[in-house]
Structure 1
Amino acid sequence: MTDRFAVRTTPQGHGVWDAAVNGWHSRQDLSEPAATELAKTMNVGHAAQQTSTDTTSRKVVPAKPVLVLVDGRWWPGHLDWWVHETDGWYGRATLDATGAASWYPAASLRPAPAAATA
Structure 2
Amino acid sequence: MTDRFAVRKTPQGHGVWDAAVNGWHSRQDLDEAAATELANTMNAGHVAREAHPDTGSRRVVPAKPVLVLVDGRWWPGHLDWWVHENDGWYGRATLDASGAASWYPAASLRPAPASAARSA
Where on the TM-score scale, by shorter chain, does this alignment land: which range? 0.7 to 0.9
TM-score by length of 2: 0.85
- Cα deviations across residues 42-68 of structure 1 (Å, max 9, x unaligned)? 100111122456522110111111001
- Cα deviations across residues 14-41 of structure 1 (Å, max 9, x unaligned)? 2111223332111111233322221111
Identify the residue that residue 80 of structure 1 maps to in structure 2: 80
Over the residues paired in the alignment, what is the CA RMSD in angstroms? 1.8
SS in 2 for 1:37: helix
Identify the residue that residue 16 of structure 2 maps to in structure 1: 16
**Where in structure 2 are there 5+ consecutive unaligned residues?**
none
Using the alignment, how far apart are the partners of 1:105 and 1:31 within structure 2?
Answer: 28
Whether 2:103 is the aligned partner of 1:100: answer no
Identify the residue that residue 64 of structure 1 maps to in structure 2: 64
SS in 2 for 1:26: coil
SS in 2 for 1:8: strand
Using the alignment, how far apart are the partners of 2:39 and 2:2 within structure 1?
Answer: 13
Maintained 8 Å contact 1:94/1:100: yes
Using the alignment, how far apart are the partners of 1:36 and 1:17 within structure 2?
Answer: 11
Give 4+ residue runs of structure 1 displaced > 3 Å after superposition.
Answer: 51-54
Offset at 1:111?
0.6
Q: Which amino acid aligns with 1:47?
A: V
TM-score by length of 1: 0.87
Maintained 8 Å contact 1:54/1:84: no
Offset at 1:74?
0.8
Residues matched between the structures, number: 118
Using the alignment, how far apart are the partners of 2:66 and 2:96 within structure 1?
Answer: 10
1:51/1:92 CA distance change after superposition, 3 Å: closer
**Where in structure 1 are there 5+ consecutive unaligned residues?**
none
- Which moves more between the two structures, 106-115 or 51-60? 51-60
